[in-house]
Structure 1
Amino acid sequence: MGHFVDRRLNPKDKSLGNRRRFLKRVRSHVKKAVDEAVRTRGIADTDSGEEVVVPADSIAEPSFRHSRKAGRRDYASTGNKSYQAGDKIKKPPSGEGGDGGKEGSDSGEGEDDFLFVLSRDEFLDLFFEDMELPNLVKRGLKQIEVTKPFRAGFSITGSPSNINVERTMRNALGRRLALKRPKDLEVRALREEIFKMEKISKPTQEQRLELSVLHELLEDLLRRQKVISYIDPLDVRYNYFEMRPEPRERAVMFCLMDVSASMGEREKDLAKRFFVLLHLFLSRRYKSVDLVFVRHTHNAKEVDEETFFYARETGGTVVSTALVEARQIIEDRYPASEWNIYIAQASDGENYSGDSKKCVQILNEELMKDCQYFAYVEIVDEAEAEFLNSEENGIELWREYRRVAGRWPNFAMKRIARPGDIYPVFRELFAKKTAEDNGH
């Protein structure tokens, strides 16, 4: 039995490739560990990595061995002083093999599971890899000033990195054939013939004349080889690229957050954590998504990112003002014919009496027909979370929004009661849909 194990040390700063190959080998175990970690992970841990455990048998090093499918093979193991061919070896009792038995043992060996530390970027890439903005499509989108290089034939000038070797060698071969450049085989054959003639000790007059002719012919072939180069600068061709405008999906995400007096510090903290995760998701997965931040009490207004997360104003609760503000911004800056529109709303569900019906009217008649996806997250009290597990239970805004969800398939509703709910809820809201999920 032969084993080949690569024990070479990694050069300085050259271990990234090995790390990626290792992650690829144990990807299923790492992905499972990440999915389990997000259930207990706090949003404050976003900037940190994660320790994951990989079973020891999943990191076994590849080896070559004789096939055991057919035939009988005898071999001797080095260091054997106790056994001979034909001896039967008893299986060690449970707990003596180092596999985690409850009783101690003075013999046996095994391996612990492998503890592997993921970096922050690796953790987030694995967490976000099967998530997306739903229904991101091109719907008569206007071309924006984004260009991309496209192949546009060949050129006689360019960067050495863009040399087209195949086209260059083809041109060189055609030129050599057209100019009848002598081949190396012809020169070698002529030299061998001259060498044979020069070995004759007493050549005749005719042989001397023939040798002279062969020398002249060899000189002419060498001269023509030198004049007609193997590759000429005229043969070189470069891949040519030209920059062309590229149509791209344009998307905007509206973040609507209730900051009224009914939202205590705990509720606001959970809502902010959700929007921090949403912001991180969009910035890592998409390059061209606009973010619009709207805070509302009894009035709503668009604010910048810092004000959205850190301002401390409060007031009454009129949820419809946030929807009206979003609708006005869409009309002014983000026409539905050119933009994919997404809205994420977080609230504790408390609302001014009768205003919830107005919210339903705005959603059904105006926003939902232009919106690709609407995600509503309700922050509930942890003590009431079990009672509110049923979708039928809830205060007025939740019950009214259920009517919207029943009419529009692109409307999603979830509840959050504790920090540990944020990651699972976020995954459910933005999980990548399959063809079956979409009804295709």
Structure 2
Amino acid sequence: MREAYARRIAMRAPIKRALREAIDALEAEERKDPVLRNPARIVELKAEIERLEKRIAGVPFIDTYDLRYHQLSAQPQPSNQAVMFCVMDVSGSMTQNHKDIAKRFFLLLYLFLEKHYEKVELVFVRHHTAAREVSEEEFFYSRETGGTIVSSALNLVNKIIEKRYPVGQWNLYVAQASDGDNWDDDSNICRDLLIKQLMPQLQYYAYVEITPHDHQSLWHEYESVVKEFPERFAMRQIVEAGDIYPVFRELFKRRLSQS
């Protein structure tokens, strides 16, 4: 507004001077003796005054030159490479059947990403009370087990992203499989980690809860994440192996429709 006001003063000043001169000339002409008065000059001056008044009125109050935009909006950067973090709960409550279902889900997701990106990297993370990045063989075949602290895995994923996968250069996906059982008071820590640190960096986060039972605290805390990121965070329940593909289609139906 300050710049617009200054611009209007600067643009109108020379026109106002010319208008003042035309008015003075008209008044001087009209004061002359009728014998000496020039009617054509009077008509000319009146037309000039009218033209100058219109020019002054036509100076815009706000012009495009005055507009300034200070709101920043994120612009997507196209990338042909993606990384998928496979995060699997291997705590004692996860039976072998639960783990088999999780592995089949991860395989389906890998095939999906491989179809859409020229380069796909997989990062395998197993966790119980502690999380470790492991090889593909260890991810699928190790029998290590223990208690459950899910936040250990989320913290590890965040550290790996910071160290190896710059957000502007990679499309980042996370697929997490768990039975929903978690250590007391850790589920709200997971919620905060997702909302404040992980989700702003990710293209998509898919959480599958493999259990025939009622949802536990982890699911309920993740519902808050869905509200914050409804387009990029999704979760579904898998009860048996037959649910894997229908659940996968639900989680990725938008991208599948573009295939």
Question: TM-score range with shorter-chain normalisation?
Answer: 0.5 to 0.7
* SS at structure 2 position matched to 1:378: strand
Alignment check: 8 A CA contact 2:84 2:110 kept: no
2:250 pairs with one of 428, 435, 438? 428
Letter in 2 for 1:288: K
Residue identity in the other structure for 1:352: W
Deviation at 1:138, TM superposition (A): 5.3
Equivalence for 1:311: 142
Q: Corresponding residue for 1:254? A: 85
Give CA-to-partner distance per residue, 1:184-219, whole Å, 9 cap, x none: xxxxxxxxxxxxxxxxxxxxxxxxxxxxxxxxxxxx
Q: Matched residues in 1 for 2:137 and 2:211: separation?
A: 25
Partner of 2:254, secondary structure, is: coil
8 Å CA contact 1:138–1:249 kept in 2: the answer is no
Structure 1 pair 280/403, CA: closer, same or farther in 2 (3 Å)?
A: same
Question: Between Structure 1 and Structure 2, which shows a larger proportion of helix residues?
Answer: 2
- Alignment match, 1:299: 130
Give the corresponding residue for 1:175. Answer: none
Which of 181, 184, 192 is the equivalent residue of 1:350?
Answer: 181
Q: Secondary structure at the match of 2:84?
A: strand
How far residue 262 of structure 1 moved from its aligned partner, in angstroms, is 1.0
Gaps of 5+ in 1: 1-136, 142-247, 389-393, 436-440
> 2:253 is paired with a residue of what secondary structure?
coil
Could you say which structure has the larger radius of gyration? 1
Give me the whole-angstrom Cα distance separating, in 2, the residues matched to 1:340 and 1:283.
Answer: 12
Structure 1 match to 2:229: 408
Residue 352 of structure 1 aligns to a residue whose secondary structure is: coil
Distance 1:375 1:315 in 2: 24
Q: What is the letter of the counterpart of residue 297 of structure 1?
A: H
Residue 434 and residue 288 in structure 1: after superposition, are their counterparts in 2 closer, same or farther (change >3 A)? closer
TM-score normalized with structure 2 length? 0.66
Task: State the match for 1:154 in structure 2.
Answer: none
1:339 to partner: Cα distance = 1.5
Distance 1:347 1:301 in 2: 16
Contact 2:82 2:117 in 1 (8 A): no
Q: Would the aligned equivalents of 2:249 and 2:256 in 1 still touch at CA under 8 Å?
A: no
Alignment of 1:358-369 (within 5 A): 358-369=189-200
Paired amino acid for 1:252: V
Question: Partner letter of residue 404 of structure 1?
Answer: V
2-side partners of 1:265 and 1:303: how far apart? 18
* Secondary structure of the structure 2 residue equivalent to 1:374: strand
Separation in 1 of the partners of 2:181 and 2:243?
Answer: 20
Aligned to 1:372: 203
Deviation at 1:304, TM superposition (A): 1.2
TM-superposed CA distance for 1:283, in Å, is 3.1
Unpaired runs of 5+ in structure 2?
A: 1-74
Q: CA deviation at 1:434?
A: 9.7
TM-score by length of 1: 0.40
How far apart, in 1, do the equivalents of 2:125 and 2:255 lie?
28
Q: Distance in 1 between matches of 2:111 and 2:217?
A: 31
Q: Which residue of 1 aligns with 2:112?
A: 281
Work out whether 1:398 is the aligned partner of 2:219.
Answer: yes
Task: Note the alpha carbon deviations across 1:119-166, whole angstroms, 9 max, x for none.
Answer: xxxxxxxxxxxxxxxxxx952x6xxxxxxxxxxxxxxxxxxxxxxxxx
Cα distance per residue 1:373-426 (max 9 Å; x no partner): 100000012xx4xxx5xxxxx210000000111111210010000111001001
Q: Residue 415 of structure 1 aligns to which amino acid in structure 2?
A: Q
* 1-structure distance, mates of 2:152, 2:254: 31
Displacement of 1:254:
0.7
- SS of the counterpart of 2:249? helix
Deviation at 1:250, TM superposition (A): 2.3
C-alpha deviations, 1:266-305, integer Å up to 9, x for none? 2111111211222232334433111111011111011111
Q: Which runs of 4+ in 1 moved over 2 A?
A: 279-287, 432-435
Q: Give the match's secondary structure for 1:253.
A: strand
1:218-242 CA-to-partner distances (Å, cap 9, x unmatched) read xxxxxxxxxxxxxxxxxxxxxxxxx
Secondary structure at 1:289's aligned position in 2? strand
Q: SS where residue 313 of structure 1 aligns?
A: coil
State how far apart, in whole Å, the 1-side matches of 2:169 and 2:106 are: 25
Q: How many residues align?
A: 183
Secondary structure (helix, strand or coil) at the match of 1:432 reads helix
User: 1:424 is aligned with what amino acid?
Assistant: P
In structure 1, what is the equivalent of residue 54 of structure 2? none
1:115 is matched with none
Q: Deviations over 1:73-100 (max 9, x none)?
A: xxxxxxxxxxxxxxxxxxxxxxxxxxxx
